[in-house]
Chain A
Amino acid sequence: MYFFDPHIHMTSRTTDDYERMYAAGIRAVCEPAFWMGQPRTSMGTFADYFDGLIGWERFRASQFGITHHCAIALNPKEANDPQLHDVLDLLPHYLEKDGVVAVGEVGYDSLTAEEEKVFATQLAMAAEHELPVLVHTPHRDKLAGTRRTLEVVAKSGIDPGTVLIDHLNELTAPVVAGTGCWLAFSVYPDTKMDEKRTARLIAELGTERVLVNSAADWGRSDPLKTIRTAEAMREAGFTEPDIERVFWHNPVAFYGQSGRLMLGDPDHDGHGMPDPATTYAGNSVLRGARPEEPVPGAPAQAER
């Protein structure tokens, strides 16, 4: 079976990671826009970052047989910097692009009024551009932050079926379950969730509208945590179709609502972009039953 990591920051990872991910079965990713660890100070660096997500990083991934999508947004942390609110004016341009499958990461970091304003504005943009939304929930005051997040989503009038609430845990997942929003778990080496706890929670909640991601970035993280969680689910007694649902069909269904997925299929045009004529609503589904494809040849010789 193949894996789709619905939240991973590949810009911060190496080509070794891409090789290991491909070898382990990961064929598609979504990279949401987030903060870089170091605060940005100008619009220009945001534009370059967004251009990199739809340009260089997509190309780099394709060299390793992985289809790279992205989500574009002003992230919650930097939403607190009033100098950066003009970034919101940049977004509509990017939200029309192929391969931009969601608005994200949006949401709360410290539950400030600025964060809430930027969050609500971006929910409206998602509706305007007919895109789903990837919502980050805060590290601190998580339960209150998750409840507040759901209130803002409800108030916005956006279809909850287009909203993914991420970084959930034992306390916050039950709050989201039943709201119509999708649930996601970020599996980390130390913090957030680990693979066994995630498997246990999915056993309680079911596999419907549930996604698992590695959220790997420049911090201590592991781009193979989706694979490890699938193994934990297998040990916990989940069936293969259930596992495939969580790691392939659910992310395809969620991001497929954008009509902008670029998943390769046997009929694609050789450039990693399927011909819409051979797909449904711009999306094609790379079935787990598909025969193993050859490992891509040595990547084109890159000049630095």
Chain B
Amino acid sequence: MITSPGAMQPRPPIRQALATPGRWLPTGPAAWLARCCEEAGSTPAVLRAFPAIGRRLGRGPLPDCEPAGGYGWTVDDAGRARLLVAASASRDEDSLTALLEQLYRHGDAAERRGVLRALDVLGLGERGLPLLRDALRTNDARLVAAAAGGEYAARMLPDADLAQAVLKCLFIGVPLAAVAAIPGRITPELARMTADFARERVAAGRDVPADAWVILAREPDAVTAAGLPAELESPVTGRRAAARRFFAARPTVSPERT
């Protein structure tokens, strides 16, 4: 099941940026990328260019895009996505999927991130989901962010997978500002899982990531259902203190429930 995704078109700056590499690349690297895109019908040419993109184009944040807490698109992400969009022009869905799998399976973390980013703009349907799910199993926060955070995940991941992905973001510290599916696809089940996670942290006397409130503020019943208010009365000092810190981080103005 996929909840109503709302406005799930890729944010205009990404598509605009991909269409205008001259805005984020100096002339030499832009010309190199243009040549690679012209040759993108050849699989060996793509395989050779793809790993070189970071050292050729740079790895800094993509200008004009939302910074997303350090987990936004980078110049090499955009270069790889642009190359793959060019590669998609001359390939049917089967051969495009095979190319993406080859690049991802034997890519380093930056190359894998480039494939995941490209899924946002390739219009591949469900064929990219196995790669996305692989990335969600890793421990590398940049890969998890690119997989869970993209428009592709927001569009294609079923509710249960999306809830696991968002919870993992909270767990490993990927800011929810980097997750396109939030707030549009918050469900009561995601809120329950988030509240249970918060309760577990409080019971251990540990801090809850402040981003938990991005979800819980929209589903306040989940906080009560998880037993979090009762933690304020815990006989264990550390638990009481953790509960107080958790509730102190609650936003003062509740967002409208979607």
A interface with B by C-beta (< 8 Å): 47, 51, 54-55, 58-59, 93, 96-99, 259-260, 269-271, 273-277, 282, 300-303
Contacts and interface: CB of A to CB of B under 8 A. Distances in A.
A47 B61 CA distance: 31
Contacts of A54: 108
B51 A276 contact: no
Nearest to B74: A269
Given A59-B140, A300-B173, A301-B172, A98 B58 contact: no
Contacts of A269: 59-61, 74
B106 A47 contact: yes
A151 to B, nearest CB: 33
A98 B110 contact: yes
Contacts of A99: 108
B171 interface: yes
A93 B55 contact: no
Given A98-B54, A276-B56, 14 more contacts: A51-B106, A59-B139, A59-B140, A93-B106, A96-B48, A96-B52, A98-B55, A99-B108, A260-B55, A271-B59, A273-B54, A273-B110, A275-B58, A300-B172
A302 B139 CA distance: 6
Q: In this complex, which of A270, A276, A302 has the most chain B Cβ atoms within 10 angstroms of its Cβ?
A: A276
Between A51, A274, A277, the greatest number of chain B beta carbons within 10 A of the residue's beta carbon is seen for A277
B203 interface: no
Contacts of A302: 139
Contacts of A93: 47, 106
Given A55-B109, A98-B108, A99-B108, A300 B139 contact: yes
Contacts of B173: 300
Given A97-B108, A276-B59, A277-B58, A271 B142 contact: yes
B60 to A, nearest CB: 4
B51 to A, nearest CB: 5
B108 A96 contact: no
Nearest to B49: A96
Contacts of A303: 139
B125 interface: no
B106 A301 contact: no
Given A269-B74, A300-B139, A302-B139, A97 B59 contact: no
Contacts of A276: 54-59
B141 interface: yes
Interface string B158-184: 000000000000011100000000000
B238 interface: no
20 contacts: A55-B108, A58-B108, A59-B140, A96-B52, A97-B51, A259-B55, A269-B61, A270-B70, A271-B142, A273-B54, A274-B59, A275-B58, A275-B59, A275-B60, A276-B54, A276-B55, A276-B58, A277-B58, A282-B55, A301-B171
Contacts of B60: 269, 275, 277
Contacts of B57: 276
Nearest to B57: A276
Instruction: Give the top 8 A-B pairs by smallest Cβ distance, nearest first.
Output: A275-B60, A54-B108, A282-B55, A273-B59, A302-B139, A96-B51, A97-B51, A275-B58
Nearest to A54: B108
